[in-house]
Structure formats: structure tokens, C-alpha cells
Amino acid sequence: MKILIVDDDSLDRKLLRRSLGVSEGSFHKITEVSSVTDGLEAINHQRFDVILLDYRMPEIDGIEMVIEMRSKPKLGGTAIVMISSAEDPKLALDCIEAGAQDFISKSDITQSKLDKAILHAKKRFEMEQKMHESYLTVKQMAEKDALTGLSNRYHFEETLKVTIDNGKRLESSVALLALDLDDFKNVNDTLGHEAGDEVLKEVVKRVSKCLRSNEGFARIGGDEFAIILSGIESINVVNVIAKRISDTFEESFVLNGKEVHCGVSIGAALSPLDACGAQELLKCADIAMYRAKQAGKSKVCFYEARYQEEFNRRFSIQNDIANILKHSSFKLFFQPVCSTSNRDIISFEALIRWPNNDNNYPPSEFIPIAEESGVINELGRWIIKTAIEQLREWKRLKSELTISINISPVQLLHADLADYLDKVCELASIPSHDVILEITETALFKDNDKISIMLQQLSLRGFKIALDDFGMGYSSVSHLVNYPINIVKLDKSLQSTEPNDGKRKEIFAALSLMLKRLNFTVIAEGVETEAQLKICEELDVDRVQGYLLGKPSAPEYIDSLLKSDVLDCMDAG
């Protein structure tokens, strides 16, 4: 065993050497020094198994050597037995607390006691080291993301707090970038989670190359990353770094020989400009990132105060939707769809209305929010059930009526939509062919196999499919061919509003002729004037819908309308 004796008293050193029961060259290899300075010098150059360290020395006390060693891991790899002339339990405790493993008083020293103290100290030291190693592993696990080796969210937030505080002290700005991969779910869904993991690792490699160090780079969620940039002198610097990061995503990722494109949306916020606290800054960067996504993805967006208002509005709408749904207090309005030739009501389109008069949000605002949060599935079910039950009531007054229900693309992705529609129709004794499901082209542009299969299923079960708002977006003819569409609704933007609106008139005429030729039932939306209705008649458009024929109205109003129709018929009869 290699033993270092640190004691200023040569007699005491001799006593120790004797008590170790050895002389020069025997089993123990002993080095002697007479001061803490020499002791530190000795352990700097060679490793010892144990140090026998005198507590009291003239210049520097032994306990200070313990403290010095334990504060420097490089010096620390040795067990220490403190030796003192005083027999003081408090002193012993101080030495142990400072990092020594055992304590023995000089008056107590015998060969066997010293041997025992050395062995105990060695064992105890080994155990302490093992505990320290497991502590480090646990700490690493708690702070690091296992897949990428970056900091995790918890550690990141701590680092952000410290960096912001330092920034305040140094009066310099801190920037926070929030990164979210675009359509990463698609990679996972189509290529599997292992491929997804590879993309995440490659992302870390690419982004790291754009940064000075990985210190403030963390993975804070599945496909979410955050970066702290400290000592920022101008927004331009942040912009340059963010753009550089964004550019590295232009190159596609190659996974098992397959090329996958995956972009990134980046939100940036600055402290103290946008927020002073870590949580607030994270929120601002998140809001900016969300804007970047909304602006069409693969974008960099800096936080602006007005985003907060928009975000709050969206957030409160999202919360309100859930609450209103809980109390089933949304309203469904119904708008008549009439035969063009005799204006007879053939059908009603169900249109959702916000119930609260203080905040009259239009469906064009709250439906996309419901889609994004996923609550549209529940809301959609309520709409389906309410509309079909309403049709049952009205069929008592007019048996040939049908109902049109708008279905969001998100609902089409829900596998049990067809079963749910079947169940509601069965309970209400409504045949499926009396239910028209209105979908928009955006659903078809997703070109998702699931949507195609769902539409086929719905069509096979007898539901009619209407393509809504045709002529407003892409109006792809291939959609008309590839999907089981029965009805096409020509968007209201195709209606001419002025007499010499020649081009629009021609487009409307050409589209309706083409659709008639392809045997679709054609409905013109947004018919507001007699002149527009006349054009529809001339073009033999099947059905018309619009303010001229009737505005979307509460069911009570439609009730009285249908009842008065019945009475009129009876009178005429």
C-alpha cells in the first residue's frame, strides 16, 4: 500500500512508521513530508492509497489540506486518516465532515489500531466514491435527454434562469430560440420511431454546428428544442443565427436510403425586451414559434406584443369551446337549400353558431381553433347528432327533406366517424342517403390514405358527399375523379356582384356546365339577388343556397316556416 505521512514532528512520523510495523522496502511504500504544502506537492505527482495527516501543524493545519483536496476532484482520489494529539470528538467530527475518512488520536496509536483505521478509511472512501458516481449518473439522467445528450427541460429552465440573472447583472440581453420541427409526426408515422430518433440526432448535429457551444441547447419536448443565446448586442445577430439554423434544414435527411424532408419553425424572444423571467420568456418564444408555424412553417418569427393578444384570444376561445360543449349550449342554425326551378326547400345546411352574445365568434374563426386542439371531434359529434335529430322532427312536416352537415378534415381522420353516423341515423330512423356530408378541398389536399378510405366507407354506407366551396381554392379536377363525390357546391365568390362582371360570369358558367356534364348535382352558394338566381336557372344549376332563398336561421324559425308551408298546402288542397 502507498502511504503518505504528513506531520511536522519527526518523532511523530517515526512513531507512525513504527506502528505501521514496517521498515524501509517492506510491504507498505511510505513517503514522509513535514508540511501541508509538501503534502499537496506530493499528491500532485503521485497517487497514494492512504494519507496519514496530522491535524495540527505550524503553518497550515491538516484539515485545510483535506478541504483543499476534496474541493479539487483531481487531488481527491485518496483516503485520509487524521491524526491528532487531542482526543476531542468534536474535532473528529469536523475532520470527517471536511472529507477525512477516519480519525485517530496519537495516544491511541498501536499497530493494530492504525492498521484497522487505514483499512476502514480505504473501504469507506471506496464506498463514498461509488455513491458519488451513482449520484452523478442520477444527476445526468435527471438533467440530460437520453437520446440526444442535450439538457432536458428541467435543466434548461434552471440554466435559463441563471443566464437571465447574469444578463441583468451585466446589463446585456439574452435571446431564446424555440424550435419545433415541422410535420415530424409524419416521419414517425410513415418511417417509424427509430427513423424519427435518427432525425432528432441529426438535427442536434446540424444545429450544434451553428452554435458556439451546446451549453444552452436543450431538447424540451418530443420534437421541440430551445437555445439560449447570451450577451446579445443586436436582434440582427439572433436573426442571423436563427436563419443559419433554419437553412441547415433545407438539405433532406436520409434514412435507410430514403430521403425525408423536415423543416423547422423558429420563434425568438429577448430578455429583457420581451420578458424578464424565464417562464415568461419561454412563453414569448413559444408564441413566436407558433406564429412561424401559422405563417407557413419553416420560418423564423420574432415575438411581438400583439401576438400575445391573439394568442390569448385563441386560448380563451379554445377554453370556451370545451366549456360550452360540456353544457351542450352551442347553437345550430339551418340554411335552406332550394330547387333552382321552383325554389322549393330540398335540404338544410347545418351551420354552427357561438351561443354567447358578448363574444360572437364566427365559425370561420373558432372551427380552425377547435380543429387544432382536436376538440372538433367532440364538437363534430354534437353537430351530427343535433342536425340528424332535427331532421327527424322536420321530416314529420316534409318527408323528402335532407340535411347537409359540414365535416372537418380532422373528423375524417377519426376512424369511428362512419360508425357514429350510422348509429345516430339508426336511432333517429333517418336513412343515410338523406344525409349530405360537406367536405372542403383542403381535406383532399392532405392526400391522406386514411381520408380516402373514410370517404369510400361513408359513400358505401349511403351517405352523400358534397365538395364544398368549389372554385375558391385549387378546384382540382382530379379530386372530382378520384373521390366518391356526389354533389359540388360552387363557392359564393363565383357569384357576379356587378352586371359587367363578365369574366366571373364565364367562369361560373363554364364550371357549372362541366360539373353538370360530369353528372354531379350542382349547388350554387351565396345567391343573394334575383339576377344571380336567373343565371343559375339559365345554366340549369340544380340547387341554390343564399340569403335570397333564406339566411341561416334558428330551428324555431325553420319550424314555423315549415309549419306555415304545411298549412298553405292544406289550404290549397
Residue from the set 469, 483, 505, 522 that interacts with ligand C2E by CB under 6 A: 469
CB of 400 to ligand C2E, least distance (A): 22
Binders of ligand C2E among residues 514 to 533 (CB under 6 A) are 526, 528
Mark residue 546 as left, alpha or beta (left: phi above 0; alpha: psi -120 to 50; beta: remaining): left
What's the order of all strands across the beta sheet hosting 79-84? 29-33, 2-6, 50-54, 79-84, 102-105
Decide: is 441 part of the binding site for ligand C2E (CB under 6 A).
Answer: no
Q: Is 223 a catalytic site residue?
A: yes
Site stretch for ligand C2E (CB under 6 A), options 144-152, 272-280, 347-355, 412-420: 347-355
Q: Residue 68 or 525: which CB sits closer to Mg ion?
A: 525
C-alpha angle 229/227/182, rounded to 5°? 140
Residue from the set 65, 301, 352, 412 that interacts with ligand C2E by CB under 6 A: 352
Q: Which three cell numbers stand for residue 84?
A: 491528532
Cβ atoms of residues 118 and 112 within 8 Å: no
Position of cell 332535427?
390
Q: Residue 216 or 552: which CB sits closer to Mg ion?
A: 552
Site stretch for ligand C2E (CB under 6 A), options 18-26, 345-353, 429-437, 478-486: 345-353
Q: Residue 100 or 410: which CB sits closer to ligand C2E?
A: 410
**Closest residue by beta carbon to ligand C2E:** 546
Decide: is 367 part of the binding site for ligand C2E (CB under 6 A).
Answer: yes
Gap between the Cα atoms of 346 and 543, Å rounded: 8
Q: Which does 384 bind (CB under 5 to 8 A by kind): ligand C2E, Mg ion, none?
A: none
Decide: is 485 part of the binding site for ligand C2E (CB under 6 A).
Answer: no
Decide: is 464 part of the binding site for ligand C2E (CB under 6 A).
Answer: no
Task: Report the number of secondary-structure helices (H) and strands (E) in the chain.
Answer: 21, 20
**Residue in 7, 223, 468, 491 annotated catalytic:** 223
C-alpha distances in angstroms, 349 versus 354, 397, 494?
16, 17, 19
Q: Please tell me the count of residues contacting ligand C2E according to CB under 6 A.
A: 20
Q: Which does 547 bind (CB under 5 to 8 A by kind): ligand C2E, Mg ion, none?
A: ligand C2E
**Helix extents (H) in 518-554:** 530-538
CB of 406 to Mg ion, least distance (A): 5
DSSP 316: H
Decide: is 228 part of the binding site for ligand C2E (CB under 6 A).
Answer: no
Q: Burial, 387: exposed, middle or buried (Cβ in 10 Å; 0-12, 13-18, 19+)?
A: buried
Gap between the Cα atoms of 282 and 154, Å rounded: 13
Residue from the set 69, 546, 558, 562 that interacts with ligand C2E by CB under 6 A: 546
**Helix extents (H) in 7-152:** 10-19, 36-45, 62-71, 89-98, 111-143
Gap between the Cα atoms of 186 and 200, Å rounded: 13
Residue from the set 383, 391, 458, 466 that interacts with ligand C2E by CB under 6 A: 383
CB of 558 to Mg ion, least distance (A): 17
Site string for Mg ion, 500-539 (x = CB under 5 A): -------------------------x--------------
Q: Residue 265 or 404: which CB sits closer to Mg ion?
A: 404
Q: Burial, 532: exposed, middle or buried (Cβ in 10 Å; 0-12, 13-18, 19+)?
A: buried
β-pair partners for 348? 336, 403
CB of 435 to ligand C2E, least distance (A): 13
> What DSSP assignment string belongs to 399-450?
TT-EEEEE--HHHHTSTTHHHHHHHHHHHHT--GGGEEEEEEHHHHHT--HH
Binders of ligand C2E among residues 145 to 184 (CB under 6 A) are none
Binders of ligand C2E among residues 28 to 87 (CB under 6 A) are none
Decide: is 468 part of the binding site for ligand C2E (CB under 6 A).
Answer: yes
Residue from the set 406, 411, 512, 532 that interacts with Mg ion by CB under 5 A: 406
Decide: is 431 part of the binding site for ligand C2E (CB under 6 A).
Answer: no
Q: Residue 263 or 382: which CB sits closer to ligand C2E?
A: 382
CB of 325 to ligand C2E, least distance (A): 13
Residue from the set 182, 438, 441, 542 that interacts with Mg ion by CB under 5 A: 438
**First-residue to last-residue Cα distance in the chain:** 119
Position of cell 359540414?
406
Residue 22 CB partners (closer than 8 Å, separation 6+): 28, 30
Q: Which three cell numbers stand for residue 469?
A: 366551396
Site stretch for ligand C2E (CB under 6 A), options 82-90, 350-358, 445-453, 480-488: 350-358
Task: Please give the residue ranges that form the binding site for ligand C2E (CB under 6 A).
Answer: 335, 350-352, 362-364, 367, 383, 406, 408, 438, 468-469, 492, 526, 528, 546-547, 552
Catalytic residue annotation = 223
Which residues contact Mg ion (rule: CB under 5 A)? 406, 438, 468-469, 525
